[in-house]
Structure 1
Amino acid sequence: MSAAWSAGCVRARSMLSRRVGAGGARELASRASLEEVLQQLAAGPYQRGIRPGQSLEDAQRAVAATVLWHLRVLAGWLPREGAESVRALAGWFEVANVVEQVQQPGTPPYLLGSLAVSWPRLARAASPEQMREELAASPWGDPGGSDPRTIAVGVQFAWAVRVAERVPRAQDWAAGGAALLFARERFLAEQPLAEPAVRRAAVLLGADAVGSASFADLRARLRGDARWVLSDVDGPGELWRAEVRWWDRVARDALKLLRTTGFGPDVVVGCAVLLGVDARKVRAALEISARGGRPLEAFDVLA
């Protein structure tokens, strides 16, 4: 293993200290006001973007942006293979930028730096129609339509495929996430999918699955590495349980990756994922505290 891998993995493990942790996030959620949580976070691991007086939306965004900053730093310590894995996982932020640009124009984008795939070019799109054109000419591909929903769904499926192809250790996560997205759009929102989205979903779910006429049919037809996320889920109304299961599985798998000996991709992927898991819990804690900090059962469901 190269010196770059050794240095990168040491850096990755050190970054794990920059988490609040499950217990810490739950304690934050118990606070009776958003301002109390902001005061505490401003002196902790997320202090980079947190300021007293922020709105809930700005604070949640600052938490996510802090994770992105850590990933940018981590990628700089890694050899090319490792940096490409981090770039693939960090594609979530570019997807978020695209979705916000077509749904909420004027929202400040996440600063991707060297982790960008096509963002400097996509940022120039002044309308959903232009965004579709730019996506079609980029590695993200044509979403199949220029309405905001089609663009959002298209880039999310494209990201799932990208992760599965470039981060082998995350293939089951990508397949499970794609199954959740497909089930939510087709059987909860009851919306048709554009042809490119169906094609990308088929890569991860199987050709038989994307032709399903019902939720039960989908669950039965899913390919093996995607089936786990919908097992014991009886219908679209219970997809929230499947999402909780997805996050629990991802967190457990990431911890296992960190227990591997030596220096290599497992440590890097595990670190990147656990930073994201922690941010999700902190964002949930911010939302619960903004509601008065009770009941904590709501936090346990969200996180």
Structure 2
Amino acid sequence: MGADWVAGVTRARALRTRCLGAEAAGQVAASRELDDALRYLAATPYRHDVTPGATLAEAQRAISATLLWHLRVLAGWQPATGANAVRALAAGFEISNTEHRLSELLADPRQPGTERLHPPPYRLGALATAWTRLARTRSPSELRTALAASAWGDPGGDSPAAIATGMRVSAAVRLAAAVPDAARWAAARLALLFGREVFVAGRPLPDVTARRAARLLGPRAVGAASYADFRPALPATAGWLLADVGEAADLWRAEARWWDAVERDGRELLRRARFGPQPVVGAAALLSADAWRTRGALELAARGGGSVVWPAEVFRAPG
């Protein structure tokens, strides 16, 4: 790799200091009240967006906003290949924006207080894929059309479930193609998403989304009639995450294991001496895992606090 990677990799390694870390996250989790946790975070790398008095949802969103800012800084120092990798890794922020936009389009303006349900969109900057167009849509069908005309592809429907799942499947497939070092994460995350949607929620994927998922999971897994058939049909790149999850109802336990693998792999990628995309991918992985852990610690603090050993299998909400 040439000299154009030197500044990008140097910045990636420097951003490791922006992680809170497992020990400090444990201190946050042990807080007796949410405000105590927020005051603790005021002296950490998350201090810019986290403020005392915030609700749990506001505080967790502030953690995510800080992560996004760090990823934007990281991408800004990269050559084109590195910036594209960070954009693929940050796709969840555009998905979140799109879900909130769809929620706005479906909201009844006659109902008071609905504006509080729709936070301002994340500021994506150069990490956006199609958000400028998506933000201008005025109906669910127009939103679907805009997605279909973009790199996201047609989600196969304009319902909240179809769009959310379609975008996440698309993000996984594009990440695996654009960032080979993240292909294992993408496939395993997709297996977890597919299992939840099909075998827990009972929502078969639209045909176009199922065909897209089959690129990573294989047609046999995607066509499985039951979770018992699905798990052994997965390729090794995805099956490792669900190897000891015998029942679909226990899929939530794989969430923490996935983040643990991302953090462990990210640390190894960041340690590598070469100048190229691997340390950049590693830095993005470590920052993302740290934000996930910190959001979870805030949830524990909001429940009255508790001790925890990371990774913690206590949060059922998708990351």
Deviation at 1:47, TM superposition (A): 1.2
Q: How does 1:85-100 map to 2 (within 5 A)?
A: 85-100=85-100
**Matched residue SS, 2:63:** helix
* TM-superposition CA deviations, 1:1-31 (whole Å, max 9, x none): 3333111111111111011101110111000
CA contact (8 A) 1:284 1:299 kept: no
**Which residue of 2 is the match for residue 102 of structure 1?**
102
The answer as to whether partners of 1:19 and 1:45 remain within 8 angstroms in 2 is: yes
Deviations 1:61-87 (A, max 9, x none): 111111111111111111111111011
Question: Which of these residues, 156, 160, 173, is aligned with residue 185 of structure 2?
Answer: 173
Query: Equivalents in 1 of 2:311, 2:187: separation in Å?
Result: 26
CA offsets 1:146-171 (integer angstroms, 9 cap, x no match): 11111100000000011001000010
Deviates more, 1:270-279 or 1:88-97: 88-97
In the alignment, the residues of structure 1 paired with residue 212 and residue 313 of structure 2 have an alpha-carbon distance, to the nearest angstrom, of 30
| Pairs within 5 Å for 1:46-61 | 46-61=46-61
Q: Does 1:140 align with 2:155?
A: no
Once structures 1 and 2 are overlaid, which stretch shifts more, 250-259 or 267-276?
250-259
> Do structure 1's residue 45 and structure 2's residue 45 form an aligned pair?
yes
Which SS does the other structure have where 2:44 is aligned?
coil
Kindly indicate whether the alpha-carbon contact (under 8 Å) linking 2:255 and 2:313 is maintained by their aligned counterparts in 1.
no
Unaligned runs of 5+ in 2: 106-117
Q: 2:248 aligns with which of 218, 221, 236?
A: 236
Closer, same or farther: CA 104–32 of 1 in aligned 2, 3 Å? farther
- In the alignment, is the contact (CA less than 8 A) between 1:89 and 1:163 conserved in 2? yes
TM-score (norm 2): 0.91
- CA RMSD of superposed structures (Å): 1.6
CA distance in 2, matches of 1:89, 1:297: 26
1:74 aligns with 2:74: yes
- In 1, the alpha carbon distance for the partners of 2:4 and 2:293 equals 31
SS of structure 2 residue aligned to 1:16: helix
Whole-Å separation in 2 of the counterparts to 1:11 and 1:89: 17
Number of aligned residues: 303
Match of 1:130 among 142, 161, 181: 142
Deviations 1:117-159 (A, max 9, x none): 0001101123322211111111101111111111100000000
How has the CA–CA distance of structure 1 residues 104 and 239 changed in structure 2, closer, same or farther, with 3 Å as cutoff? farther
Partner amino acid, structure 2, of 1:24: A
State the SS of the aligned residue for 1:277.
helix
Q: Could you say which residue in structure 2 is the equivalent of 1:268?
A: 280
Contact 1:161 1:200 in 2 (8 A): yes
Instruction: Please give the alpha-carbon distance, in whole angstroms, between the structure 2 residues aligned to 1:136 and 1:197.
Output: 12
Q: Is the 8 A contact 1:288 1:299 kept in 2?
A: no
* CA offset digits 1:69-125 (Å, max 9, x no partner): 111111111111111101111111111111222235633111000110000110112
Q: In 1, are the aligned partners of 2:256 and 2:312 still within 8 Å (CA)? A: no
Cα distance in 2, alignment partners of residues 291 and 232 from structure 1: 29
Question: What is the letter of the counterpart of residue 68 of structure 2?
Answer: L
Gaps of 5+ in 1: none
Asked if 1:13 corresponds to 2:13, the answer is yes
TM-score by length of 1: 0.96
